[in-house]
Structure 1
Amino acid sequence: MNSLSTNSANSPVAHCSSIFHLIDDPRLTKDPYVFIDNGMLVVENGIIIAAGERNEIEPTLAVDCKIVEHPNTIITPGFFDLHIHFPQLTTVAFYGEQLLGWLNGIIPEEEIYKNPEIAAERAKIFLKETLRAGTTTMCAYGSWAKESVDALFSEAERLNLRLIAGKVMADRNMPDGISITNPKDDYEHSSELIEKWHGRARLAYAVTPRFAISCTPEDLKVAGNLMKENPGIYMQTHLSENPKEISFTLELFPGRKSYLDVYDHYGLVNERSIFGHCIHLDDDDFKRVSETGAVLCPNPPSNMFLGSGLFKFEKAKEYGIRMGMGTDFGAGNTFSMLQSMENAYKTAQLQGYSLSPFEAFYHATLGGARALSIDNKVGNFEIGKEADFVVLDACCTPFISWRMEHAKTPLEKLFVLMMLGDDRAVKHTYVYGNPVHSRDS
């Protein structure tokens, strides 16, 4: 059978393809992956019940098991994008300056997301595009308006996606044309959203100070209090993206020894903290991140676009840092984690570090799951995990098809997709075993 739809009785479905997933961190382990040329992934009720060689699994299938053929493809776990901005749909590819000047041009567009109807319409567009790129788990920034987060969570719940999101906290230094919040409203609105959405379906909340420049000490205290009062929620923000941003931050918070120390002072650096960019950290910062178990999330597409700098992948490896990876759409000009991996490789090369496709795919799959402390649920194809996966087309363009004929090893095949692929390579995306994107339909 070749139908992609699941049947109404929730019978098992066996997907036939090459299969690739990580079983450990390639920065630490010599053989951290599984690659099976003629593989089979069996899913029942949204859960993986078998994964391995087809000739071993097929004889054991239940009589009612549906078989779906995916010729010339590689099945991988769904991608994790740990830094992405929902309200920047209409400001992506905004020509201009580096970070602070660019923000002054794009942030006022976020004002419209206080309209629930517009927010709901754009949430559908946003999540459709992320699924088209193969992303099945993400950490997303809403706008300052709680309506934006309500809309995004509502659509993610409908699709049964894993989503971490939060409303932006910003009570100063915002451009003309956008409302600023205040610590009292940030506390009350965030608390309402946490009560409504955190832990519901596959959803979780992240306290979301936009960045230190946009928050008074009182607002950062509120962020810290929200985390203390709600164990299990996350915190996401920006850190050390741009030299001028860093200088301005330290002017606003005299007495703090570094940008990271600003967040640390308010209780925002721990194993549930996700810091975007982190380009200009020094050794003391890396040491503190390692001590606390906080997560660093480089976003190579936006770092290149804004000329912010090069994330130190080798330094993160040296300190054993927990890491994910993101696109930072809309400073990043793509939804595609394949393109983020491509940019990551080039970023590392410019610093004399060779980022293997295994390491890149790790940060975008199992590493992302470990960064969020949900690797017991998703991130690879271990039996019992939730079936979020992507079917990558090895013949998605004529040239990639030709190039794949000359790729002999798993490393070569993955590297071709990583360097030449984009959303066109994503043939199908499955969430909890159900098809949510099919490229040709």
Structure 2
Amino acid sequence: MTSPSFFQGWRAGLLWFPDPQMPQAQHEQDGLLVTAREADGIVRIQAIGPYRDLAPQFPDLPVTHWPGLCIAPGFVDLHIHYPQTDVIGSPAEGLLPWLEHYTFPHEKQFSEPAYAHEVTAFFMDELMRHGVTTALCFATAHPESVDVFMAEAQKRQLRMVTGKVLQDRHSPDGLRDTDTALSLRQTEDLIRRWHGVDRLGYAITPRFAPTSSPEQLHGAGEIAHQFPDVWIQSHVAENLDEIRWVSELFPEARSYLDVYDRAGLLRQRSVYAHCIYLDDTDRRRMAEVGATAAVSPTSNLFLGSGFFDYTASDAAGLRYGLASDVGGGTSFSPFHTMHAAYTVARQNVGRPGISLAPEHLWWQHTAGAAAALDLGGKVGNLLPGCEADFVVLNPRATPLLARRTTQTETLAEWLFAMIVLGDERLIAHTVVQGQRVNIGR
């Protein structure tokens, strides 16, 4: 049992998803959230509800009161590259030139732990400033980039997942794994060192099919079979030039996705970024095994890659959630990402455009993303049992927001105003494990 001395109350408006599988939010204007540190050391939510109903059940509860603000789940980012923090906003003609001219040269520097540490600290501050409390991150090909990231996340008590990038061909010196067997041993060593430590998780991370030999991909698949509770992350079907390249390199595969499937890298807890040019067979296969699409709309718009097909994905039962994809993505802000996702859905790949509901957009970046990451009931929501990571929204953070949000008549209008007009100024506080994060706002 949890000792009552560890209980803490948080009084403000509340926004959460009563059924985490459904994108239907509940809003309480004057609510109470009760948290406590449990025997395993994790701070979890104990109760949620209207203040008038819940407060009498917790006499002498210390309460932090934020009148006029709203507590909401911390955002979950399904795909982001921490080593690309400093190449965000770099111009290029498309994905492959962008990788060649910006990403690869920059990532070479992450063999130096001191450099990796400086970028990691900035990156995590930036996530917290934007209200992102859980993320699935790429590191680089250097094991040091994983060690530094994990140590920093552990110090901050964050729930983060990352992995050493696997790339043993078609990559420049300084990033290419020159010894495929060694790269796989390094992956196993990092899994044993970090996976499941505190709130950390490991992801087996081929960069994308063209930069891994068949031997490396199949070796990664064998590791995935050996460690069924680790994640798998990579890219698939993002760009037409990339897809043509994959078909030349893997002529035996039915599709780009099939390359990973044949290697044993398609299963539950596998998260594939973009998924723009999948066909219905691919989507059904991902749904069948419980794999996830990380929808990356700002990156896809910026690099001109294409549009995620929400209609076809829903028809196939494909799980998905939102991702910033920094540095191809153009913002750490979940509000910018949600707004871009709305814009992408209106295009809908040649079909009549669909209009994603504001609650659905929010769900894709919180409870829906958590479920897609196989962390439903742990993060991305405010239900009892969830870990105490949340953000505190100020819907009057700017003059325009204040003017617009005070005139909204429905929850959908209120949420949509924040999605369209919001940025990091909306995040009044970020709370991780029941502690307000001091990030120099």
Q: Where does residue 233 of structure 1 map in the other structure?
A: 230
Aligned to 1:90: 86
Q: Distance in 2 between matches of 1:438 and 1:412?
A: 30
What's the counterpart of residue 252 of structure 2? 255
> How far 1:177 sits from its partner (Å)?
6.0
35, 45, 49: which is aligned to 1:48?
Answer: 45
Matched residue SS, 1:16: strand
Query: How much does 1:399 deviate?
Result: 0.5
Residue of structure 2 in register with 1:6 after alignment: none
CA displacement, residues 127-171 of structure 1 (integer Å, 9 cap, x when unaligned) = 010011111110000010010111110010011111110010001
**2:98 & 2:347 partners in 1: Cα distance?**
25
Match of 1:147 among 131, 134, 144: 144
Question: For residues 428 and 263 of structure 2, what CA distance do their matches in structure 1 show?
Answer: 44
In 1, distance between residues paired with 2:20 and 2:438? 29
- AA aligned opposite 2:9: A
Distance 1:33 1:370, change over 3 A: same
1:258-277 pair list within 5 angstroms: 258-277=255-274
Residue 7 of structure 2 corresponds to which residue in structure 1?
12
The runs of at least 4 aligned residues of structure 1 exceeding 6 Å deviation read none
Q: Write the deviation string for residues 338-395 of structure 1: whole angstroms up to 9, x where unpaired.
A: 2111100000012211111111111111111111222132221221221111111101
Cα deviation, residue 25, structure 1: 6.0
Deviation of the 1:24 alpha carbon: 3.2
Percent identity between the two aligned chains: 38
Single out whichever of 332-341 and 136-145 deviates more from structure 2. 332-341
The CA distance in 2 between the partners of 1:425 and 1:437, in whole Å, is: 16
Deviations 1:271-295 (A, max 9, x none): 1210000011111111111111111
Residue of structure 1 equivalent to 2:320: 323
Matches within 5 A, 1:82-231: 82-106=78-102, 107-175=104-172, 178-231=175-228
1:286 aligns with 2:283: yes
Contact kept? 2:167, 2:176, Cα under 8 Å: no
Q: Name the CA distance, whole Å, in 2 between partners of 1:261 and 1:171.
A: 20
Q: Match of 1:350, SS? A: helix
- Hey, what does 1:4 align to over in structure 2? none
Q: Using the alignment, how far apart are the partners of 1:25 and 1:386 within structure 2?
A: 14
In 2, the alpha carbon distance for the partners of 1:289 and 1:89 equals: 30
Q: Which residue of 1 aligns with 2:355?
A: 354
Contact 1:182 1:219 in 2 (8 A): no
Q: What is the distance in 2 between the residues matched to 1:297 and 1:23?
A: 23
Closer/same/farther in 2, CA of residues 235 and 281 from structure 1, 3 Å limit: same
Report the alpha carbon displacement of residue 69 of structure 1 after superposing the two structures with TM.
Answer: 1.8
The answer to whether residue 17 in structure 2 is matched with residue 22 in structure 1 is yes
Secondary structure of the residue that 2:337 maps to in structure 1? helix
Q: Distance in 2 between matches of 1:70 and 1:197?
A: 37
Structure 2 Cα separation of the partners of residues 168 and 227 of structure 1: 14
Aligned-partner residue type, residue 227 of structure 2 = N
Spell out, residue by residue over 1:295-344, the C-alpha distance to the aligned partner (whole angstroms, 9 max, x if none). 11110110111010000112111111111210000011111112111100
In structure 1, the partner of 2:40 is none
- Tell me whether 1:68 sits opposite 2:64 in the alignment: yes
C-alpha distance in 1 between matches for 2:270 and 2:286? 10
Aligned residue for 1:344?
341
How many angstroms apart in 1 are the aligned matches of 2:190 and 2:173?
27
Instruction: Between 339-348 and 68-77, report the one with greater CA deviation.
Output: 68-77
For residues 359-370 of structure 1, the aligned pairs below 5 Å read: 359-370=360-371
1:5 maps to: none
Deviations 1:176-196 (A, max 9, x none): 664444321211111111010
How many positions carry a matched residue from both structures? 428
* 2:385 is aligned with 1:377: no
TM-score (norm 1): 0.94
Using the TM superposition, give the Cα deviation of residue 68 of structure 1 relative to its aligned residue in structure 2, in angstroms.
Answer: 1.4
In structure 1, what is the Cα distance between the partners aligned to 2:320 and 2:178?
A: 31
Aligned residue identity for 1:386: E
- What SS is found at the alignment partner of 1:406? coil
Distance in 1 (alpha carbons) for counterparts of 2:123 and 2:106? 15
Q: Identify if the C-alpha distance between structure 1 residues 25 and 383 changes in structure 2 by more than 3 Å, giving closer, same or farther.
A: closer
SS of corresponding position for 1:108: helix
Query: Residue 197 of structure 2: SS of its match in structure 1?
Result: coil
Q: Contact 2:284 / 2:317 at 8 angstroms: preserved in 1?
A: no
Moved more, 144-153 or 353-362: 353-362
TM-score by length of 2: 0.94
In the alignment, the residues of structure 1 paired with residue 89 and residue 178 of structure 2 have an alpha-carbon distance, to the nearest angstrom, of: 27
Residue 439 of structure 1 and its aligned partner are, at CA, apart by 6.2
Unpaired runs of 5+ residues, structure 2, are 38-42
- Quote the Cα distance in structure 2 between the aligned partners of 1:60 and 1:91: 51
1:181–1:376 CA distance, 2 compared to 1 (3 A): farther
Comparing 70-79 with 199-208, greater Cα deviation is found at: 70-79
Distance 1:409 1:204, change over 3 A: same
Change (3 A) 1:388 1:25: closer
Structure 1 CA distance for aligned equivalents of residues 435 and 121 of structure 2: 18
CA distance in 2, matches of 1:178, 1:290: 33
One-letter identity of the residue aligned with 1:35: H
Distance in 2, Cα, partners of 1:138 & 1:109:
21
Read off the aligned partner of 2:344 and give its amino acid letter: T
SS of 1:144's equivalent? coil
> What is the CA–CA distance in structure 2 between the aligned matches of 1:385 and 1:293, rounded to whole Å?
22
1:313 to 310, 313, 316: 310
Q: C-alpha distance in 1, partners of 2:212/2:17?
A: 39
RMSD between aligned residues: 1.6
Q: 1:277 to 1:10 in 2, by over 3 A?
A: farther
Distance 1:125 1:291, change over 3 A: same
